[in-house]
A and B are shown apart, each in its own frame.
Chain A
């Protein structure tokens, strides 16, 4: 009966589409309220509440996954399709692990109520962002992700590095989002609409009628500044190393995994709706338009190549593991951008697959940093020397994640890279595949320097490694997944194909 009532009222059916977000909001409000009650000083309570909120949201997401393939709610501003659900489930998993990491990390001891409230609102921002089909919603989602990220980065307000990182993040972030808004205003001026699904055809029509290549290109570049800053593509990457190093490590994990994936989610939907959807620019056969879209594709390809090369070269010189992983995350944004440069079906599937691999291996790598830094109180590579023999299984699992980050078989990272390479080669960008191949070879060096420090070098300091069964279980579980998806990737490819925006149309 309840279902029947829901089906009759448009407002209620919209609310049903928005139910995961509502659970998140209720969860974060409960965190605030419970935190204010007297006697609730245990720092695990807000974490538990956040996990419960996420679990409720995940349950609805799972139901939506087997429901209608595409629901438009709130007049088309908000869309629930497999693509959005993919990113929402992805975020739910990532944030669950981030919360467990926050509980395990010994240096987060101050008040924790605000921490989880702000973290959960960032999650809500990601949910809104990947579902939005309207420039205003994109902007609000992006800010709802960014502003909590600034706050969380500066969460250690008694540490100068953390505050500095936060300030740097705010300044770069505001410039990027201002530039993006300018781009949005150009898009609105050129098409007269803010809806992404209407902008695509309107832009194509305006382009073929009056030829607006400069203005369209300028709008594209400016919007790319906003998304490029979220995914930290060159030249919008300056903030990343300092922010990753200054932020609490669980937050660094969040930024590296969830926030970056959300950036790719909105970038992919934007590229699809504005350039790749039926009736949009990439589907026209006009010679001028084809040349223009090729240039666009080439531009993203160049950004991808520069991003991965710069990230990898800078990572070579790093002595701090977090900084090394920061540059490696820039490099991975470059690999992922290869799939965006191919404005098409195979590129999108490759990006989604690689994101899953990236999620697992990056979570594993940062988990290990937390595990070790809890004992050695440092994140320098030289302080990790010899730790491998103190906890061989966990460190072995970590090395497996590194192997996957390099992209060697038999890991998920290898399959993901293979799909990305195939995508760019199919669309005739062989040079990009060559650059990416060279980059993977470079990355082998610095990832294995970490592995070498763990297993082949002797420690000068004497210390005992604190055991943490939960962290060990998470890291080992992640490394098992890395290998599992490296060998049996069929199920994951099915999932990715379902989430493919291009396939949903046919």
Chain B
């Protein structure tokens, strides 16, 4: 049991427990706050994997940006507590348990293509180089910009207020 194991266990626990709160809490505000910890836990998991840049981006964008936006959205719209339907909850729990057991069984028996790698000092250099190298990820990087443009303009169009008629 090394420090890395303990850190991983702690972050994984934060992620899973808060994700459960997100999915099961009856008040949407509480769910949103739960999501805050989920994002934070995932950032920690990235850190244990040595992905320092991804961790920083996760905190800046998800925890700092998207989460705040989401909370604004939740608080500015009329929210009502969702009803607790035991039958539905039980059904979801059963299905979830089956999927979980199946996944764990498959993942445990699989032979993964693993490699021993030295942990990098900092990944920012390498990410920057790969994103702008022709043979690496230049094309996806550029195509994503069109995706963002379309999503942005589409969202702006849909968000403009209009009367609803049937």
Please list the residues of chain A having a beta carbon within 8 angstroms of any beta carbon in chain B. Answer: 10-11, 14, 18, 25, 28, 32, 73-78, 111, 114, 117-118, 121-122, 124-125, 128, 134, 136-137, 140-141, 143-144, 147-148, 150-151, 154, 157-161, 163, 166, 186, 189-192, 202, 206, 209-212, 214-215, 218
Task: Find chain B residues with CB under 8 A from A218 CB.
Answer: 103, 106
- Whether A159 lies near B113 (C-beta < 8 A) is no
B12-20, B70-78, B152-160 - the one binding chain A? B152-160
Docked Cα-Cα span, A410 to B107, in Å, equals 52
Task: Find chain A residues with CB under 8 A from B163 CB.
Answer: 158
Task: Find chain A residues with CB under 8 A from B153 CB.
Answer: 32, 114, 117-118
Instruction: Say what secondary structure dominates the interface of chain B.
Output: helix
Contact of B109 among A111, A159, A215 (CB under 8 A): A215
- Whether A214 lies near B134 (C-beta < 8 A) is no
Closest CB-CB distance, B99 to chain A, in whole Å?
A: 11
Residues of B111-135 at the interface with A, using a CB-CB cut-off of 8 Å, are 111-115, 134-135
- Whether B147 lies near A189 (C-beta < 8 A) is no
B34-42, B48-56, B59-67, B137-145 - the one binding chain A? B137-145
- Whether A10 lies near B140 (C-beta < 8 A) is no
Closest CB-CB distance, A48 to chain B, in whole Å?
A: 19
B110 CB–A CB distance under 8 Å: yes
B150 CB–A CB distance under 8 Å: yes
Q: Interface residue count for B (Cβ, 8 Å)?
A: 36
Please list the residues of chain B having a beta carbon within 8 angstroms of any beta carbon in chain A. Answer: 103, 105-107, 109-115, 134-140, 143-144, 146-147, 149-151, 153-155, 157-158, 160, 162-166
Task: Find chain A residues with CB under 8 A from B138 CB.
Answer: 74
Docked Cα-Cα span, A163 to B157, in Å, equals 13
Docked Cα-Cα span, A151 to B158, in Å, equals 7
- Whether B154 lies near A148 (C-beta < 8 A) is yes
Docked Cα-Cα span, A14 to B136, in Å, equals 13
Docked Cα-Cα span, A125 to B151, in Å, equals 13
Task: Find chain B residues with CB under 8 A from A144 CB.
Answer: 143, 146-147, 150
Task: Find chain A residues with CB under 8 A from B114 CB.
Answer: 192
Who on chain A is nearest to B135 by CB? Answer: A75
Q: Which 10 A-B pairs have the closest CB atoms?
A: A75-B135, A151-B154, A215-B110, A121-B150, A192-B113, A210-B111, A74-B139, A114-B157, A158-B162, A214-B106
- Whether B112 lies near A190 (C-beta < 8 A) is yes
Who on chain A is nearest to B138 by CB? Answer: A74
Contacts A11-B134, A144-B143, A189-B113 given; does A158 touch B165 at CB 8 Å: yes
Closest CB-CB distance, A80 to chain B, in whole Å?
A: 12
Docked Cα-Cα span, A74 to B135, in Å, equals 5
Task: Find chain B residues with CB under 8 A from A143 CB.
Answer: 147
Contact of A159 among B140, B150, B154, B165 (CB under 8 A): B165
Task: Find chain B residues with CB under 8 A from A192 CB.
Answer: 113-115
Docked Cα-Cα span, A186 to B106, in Å, equals 11
- Whether B111 lies near A75 (C-beta < 8 A) is no
Contact of B139 among A10, A18, A209 (CB under 8 A): A18
Closest CB-CB distance, B162 to chain A, in whole Å?
A: 5
Given contacts A137-B140, A157-B157, A211-B111, list 17 more A-B pairs with CB under 8 A: A75-B135, A75-B136, A78-B139, A134-B140, A136-B137, A137-B139, A140-B147, A141-B143, A144-B146, A147-B154, A148-B150, A157-B158, A158-B163, A166-B158, A186-B110, A210-B111, A215-B107
